[in-house]
Structure 1
Amino acid sequence: MPWLALVVVVMAMAAAWLVHLVLTRYWPNPCNKAAQGARLPPGSRGFPLIGESLEFFAGSPSLELLPFFKRRQERYGPIFKTNLLGENLIVSLDPELNNLIFQQEEKLFQIWYPESLMRILGADCIIATLGSFHKHLRSLVLRLFGPENLRLVMLHDVQRIAHASLLSWLHQPSIELKQATSSMIFSVTAKRLISYDESSSSEGKLWMQFNAFLQGLLAFPLYIPGTAFYKCMQGRKNVMKILRKLLDERKKDAHRGSIDFLDLLIDDLKEKKHLMNENFALDLLFLLLFAGFETTSSGITAALRFLSDDPKALQELIEEHDNIQERRDDPDSEITWEEYKSMKFTSHVIHEALRLGNIAPVMFRKAIEDVHIKGYTIPKGSKIMINPSSAHLNPKIYNDPNAFNPWRWKDRAEPVGGASKEFMVFGGGLRLCVGADFAKMQIAIFLHCLVTKYRWKVIKEGTMVLSPGLQFPDGFHIQLLPKA
């Protein structure tokens, strides 16, 4: 009966409130106890158990700063406390604090992520590792995504797949760009990671298992069929089963040698010099497969969405790439590394699309010492949420910040190494995204292959929203046509 269900819900909420009251009154947070007499950041923890999660996940119907952050910044300032995903958090919208966190990695702060997110990414994921082991894992990944391999191997792979994908889209009545580019980019990274070939795989479209991940990563952790979190966990289960099977098969092939990244991990496992074990190896593969295509496909889709509404920017982009092609002896020859590095306006377009798209909506850290800043004390043990969009959409940093204006980057120094305290799309400090250069290269090469041979017509524009990450709820549908 409906009334009986209502009574149960009310009783459950009342019980939760009593537990919350007892815990906060009689078992105070040790962080608060340690900081007695100190001025803690203002804010509210919200309701028992759910905190302020409902408002946070409500998202925004635009690319402007999430209303959740905007309202609290206006009320409390850029540093405040809240409760999300069942965790007490201090939120930082403050560029100075954000920069301090990145610069003092593993000194004043260390990596931390909510338990729900770690359940999805894996307890042994690289983002949870510290110190020398993190450096070791990072050095392994850089053998795939580092500058030398990008120049000698990945540049060719990206061009080949981009040309083949674009040709397959030609004359189709409609292409949903986010989905199409996800498949394209996944094929590049999966080939080098696990020698995966969708056309010959018995597992079907592996990348589709990751399809619900962006929604599930920052969803409320309810493991109930039908919820985003449940779909996300089911996707993880399916992918990990495939990766485990592949690892077991590879271990039996002792004479294969190092051909892809999985082989490299198996060689590392054999050495037994580090903390590496099979769980670490599988979680690392899982993260690289996901991160390698999800963020980049979102970046490409956002860039084309902005360019479709800005003929002037599109024309300047086309002229840059036509000029590159005209300077070649053979117009159809592959892009060289020097040509890629000469794509200045393309780089401006990419930085601007990523700034507005805010691909990584939040990042997390934990204070390992008491930190005093802006008149507040952040107690040791405090969990911190960093919001990059507060800098990316700050009118004091970027004039008319909600406008797509790639020319603004002509007068700004581009982020050294891909990050600065004003540009945190790829994080910063010791935890700067190891695939940042690879992502930017993929977007640039795709744009070159696109605008030198094709044009496109928007079939269904759709919308871009932050909820809290970048999403395209109605898709972005285009028709690809030969260049006139």
Structure 2
Amino acid sequence: MKARDLQTKPLLASKGSTQHLQPNLPEMWTIGLCIVAVLVIYLSYRLNKWSNPKCNGILPPGSMGLPLIGETLQLIVPSYSLDLHPFIKKKAQKYGPIFRTSVAGSPIVVSIDPEFNHYIVKQEGRLVELWYLDSFSKLFSTEGENKTNAIGVVHKYIRSIALNHFGVDPLKEKLLPQIEEFVDKALQTWSSHPLMIFDFSAKLFISYDAENSPMKMSEKFTNILGGFMSFPLNIPGTTYHKCLKDRNEALSMLRKIFKERINSPKRHFEDLLDQAINDTDKEKFLPEDFIINVVFGLLFASFESISAALSLILNLLAEHPAVLQELTDEHKAILKNRESPNSILTWDEYKSMTFTHQVINEALRLGGVAPGLLRKALKDIEFKGYTIPAGWTIMLVNSAIQLNPNTYKDPLAFNPWRWKDLDSLFVSKNFMPFGGGIRQCVGAEYSKTFLATFLHVLVTKYRWTKVKGGTIVRNPILEFTDGLHIKFSAISN
């Protein structure tokens, strides 16, 4: 028995020590519940703080969505209509013409209020500054700098150099016949009009020869469009990552052209890039990266807006034969009034295209390409009892003005004849396809001239029909989901 006792006691002692080391289950539950409670309280606090941002007044009504994501997903859901995007339309119906939300983690006040929109575009440099969402800004900025928000002397320089090369004067003096020749040549070998438009703009800005260049720059710029409203998540496999990759490759192409040009003993192209390089000696704010990004931005803006508008015009004309017939009659009359039917298009003829400009205006009214103009509040802004805090982004949805049934009768109908009875004052307040204020698009006249010249060449030299496609989608930028396929043939003399 003693031997057994000697063997058992250690076993009992071992068992007792194990019981002593085991946690008390009620205590574990208490600690766990406390941790969960603290987390719930903290998350509730953060969510409440996110949902009710700090403000030195009354914020516009609205909702902020989830932290970090906000209501981005609702905004980028495709809409298959020319009408206002459903997200904006539903929010405005619920909260009124000025409401708050959050996109990609940024608090935003969205406005479809005409009075507020006109007020804000006139406050550049005082209450607001130009702004872009991170996804756009990073695509169009140099590393560590946000050049898209250029103000003051920099913005003045960009407008000046742009107008020197594709403003009204160069359009009248030399560009109009160049556009006509280029469009005619491109239509003879038609493949894709966005690439055609890019190639002409690139030739104008940097003397780019698309036919002989080993660099297919147009493809990179076309791909970049997909990253506009994507969530700025830069990891492989995401749309944004691919867009950044295409953007960097496009910038590398431009940088190579810049290096070749600046190392040339004599610059002889006399294009926009030549002028910018020559100006580096006079303007201290013109380093290499800035010039390259200015050229990059102008190239993108020139082809993207024109190609989207042109696609919409062709689709609408195919669906409205009466409009196409009157358009064709106008351009045939221009040819008939010439001494020589084969002479080049003149500026006076361009300005005489009354119905053509009505068609273009109507398409631009219906198809606002961008979701809205973005500005950043430099200080608290008071308007109609609401306060917009300094640092917040403001999205001015001007397309809402252009689709307002109180402004335009039957606003979703394609009716170019409506412009016949609209006076200039009405148009200036209710039609802003190229923005407003000092930030009105510098390429507005260039875009309209290109569109009118394209239509002139198309209806006087070609027969065409839509084969398939033309399904409109806003996500929220205007696109065509399945492209627009057109079959056409030259008119025999």
Does TM, scored on the shorter chain, surpass 0.5?
Answer: yes
Q: Which residue of 2 aligns with 1:241?
A: 252
Which residue does 1:190 correspond to in 2? 202
Instruction: Report the Cα distance in structure 1 between the residues aligned to 2:237 and 2:332, rounded to whole angstroms.
Output: 48
Aligned: 1:75 with 2:94: yes
Q: 1:253 to 1:182 in 2, by over 3 A?
A: same
- 1:91 match: secondary structure: strand
What is the aligned counterpart of 1:164 among 181, 185, 190? 185
Aligned residue in 1 for 2:175: 154
Structure 1 unaligned blocks of 5 or more:
1-14, 170-174
C-alpha distance after superposition, 1:197-218 (max 9, x if no partner): 1111021x21110122222111
Aligned mate of 1:354, from 339, 364, 368: 364
Inter-partner Cα distance in structure 2 for 1:441 and 1:338: 12
For 1:51, the equivalent position in structure 2 comes to: 70
- Amino acid in the other structure paired with 2:199: S
Q: Which amino acid aligns with 1:144?
A: H
Opposite residue 246 of structure 1, the aligned amino acid is I
1:125 deviation in Å? 6.6
Which residue of structure 2 aligns with residue 217 of structure 1? 228
Higher CA-based Rg: 2
SS for the counterpart of 1:199 is: coil
1:104-115 matches, within 5 Å, as 104-115=123-134
Shift in CA distance, 18/242, structure 1 to aligned 2, threshold 3 Å: farther
**In structure 2, distance between residues paired with 1:463 and 1:27:** 38
The alpha-carbon distance between structure 1 residues 23 and 279, as it changes in their structure 2 partners (threshold 3 A), is: farther
Q: 1:356 to 1:364 in 2, by over 3 A?
A: same
3-state SS, counterpart of residue 80 of structure 1: strand
The residue number in structure 1 matching 2:442 is: 434
Question: Could you tell me which of 136, 156, 174 is aligned with 1:135?
Answer: 156
Determine the C-alpha separation between the residues in 2 that align with 1:254 and 1:61. Answer: 54
| Number of residue pairs the alignment of both structures matches | 454
Q: CA deviation at 1:187?
A: 1.6
Deviates more, 1:374-383 or 1:421-430: 374-383
Give, in angstroms, the shift of residue 257 of structure 1.
4.2
**CA distance in structure 2 between the partners assigned to 1:74 and 1:439 by the alignment:** 34
**2:129, 2:149 within 8 Å by CA — same for their partners in 1?**
no
Change beyond 3 A, Cα 1:17–1:476: farther
Q: 2:409 aligns with which of 394, 399, 411?
A: 399
1:297-312 aligned at under 5 Å gives the runs 297-312=307-322
The one of 101, 112, 132 equivalent to 1:93 is 112
* Closer, same or farther: CA 377–475 of 1 in aligned 2, 3 Å: same
Matched residue, 2:80:
61
Letter in 1 for 2:162: V
- CA-CA distance at 1:403 after TM superposition: 0.6
Q: Which amino acid aligns with 1:151?
A: K
- Residues 328, 16 of structure 1: CA spacing in aligned structure 2 closer, same or farther, 3 A cutoff? farther
Match of 1:461 among 454, 469, 477: 469
Which stretch of the first structure deviates more once superposed, 434-443 or 113-122? 113-122
- Could you tell me which amino acid in structure 2 is paired with residue 264 of structure 1? Q
Shift in CA distance, 16/458, structure 1 to aligned 2, threshold 3 Å: farther
Structure 2: state its 5+ residue gaps: 1-37
Amino acid corresponding to residue 450 of structure 2 in structure 1 = Q
Task: Give the match's secondary structure for 1:212.
Answer: helix
SS across alignment from 1:458: strand
Matched, 1:262 2:273: yes
Q: Does 1:295 align with 2:305?
A: yes
Instruction: Tell whether the 8 Å contact from 2:280 to 2:286 is kept in structure 1 after alignment.
Output: yes
Relative to 1, partners in 2 of residues 1:18 and 1:340: Cα closer, same or farther, differing over 3 Å? farther
Check conservation: 1:98, 1:421, Cα contact below 8 A.
Answer: no
Scaled by the length of structure 2, what TM-score is found?
0.87
Aligned to 1:200: 212
Distance 1:352 1:415 in 2: 17
Preserved contact between residue 210 and residue 232 of structure 1 (Cα < 8 Å): no
Distance 1:115 1:374, change over 3 A: same
2:30 is equivalent to residue 42 of structure 1: no
Task: Using the aligned pairs only, state the percent identity.
Answer: 43
Residue 7 of structure 2 is matched in structure 1 by none
Equivalent pair of 2:131/2:376 in contact (CA under 8 Å) = yes
More displaced, 366-375 or 392-401? 366-375
C-alpha change, 1:129 and 1:119, in structure 2 (3 Å) is: same
Contact map agreement 1:360 1:426 (CA 8 A) in 2? no
1:347, distance to aligned residue in structure 2 (A): 0.3
Structure 1 pair 110–82 and aligned structure 2 pair: CA distance change class (3 A): same
Aligned 8 A contact 2:236 2:242 in 1: yes
Of 392, 402, 410 in structure 1, the residue corresponding to residue 420 of structure 2 is 410
Counterpart in 2 of 1:5? none
Cα distance change of structure 1 residues 385 and 27 upon mapping to structure 2, 3 Å threshold: closer
Higher RCO (C-alpha 8 Å, min separation 6): 1
> Where does residue 382 of structure 1 map in the other structure?
392
* 2:381 aligned residue (356, 371, 387): 371
Equivalent residue for 2:193, pick from 162, 181, 202: 181
Structure 2 counterpart of 1:476:
484
State the shift of 1:21 in Å: 5.0
One-letter amino acid of the counterpart of residue 434, structure 2: F
- Contact kept, 8 Å, 2:137 with 2:148, in 1: the verdict is no
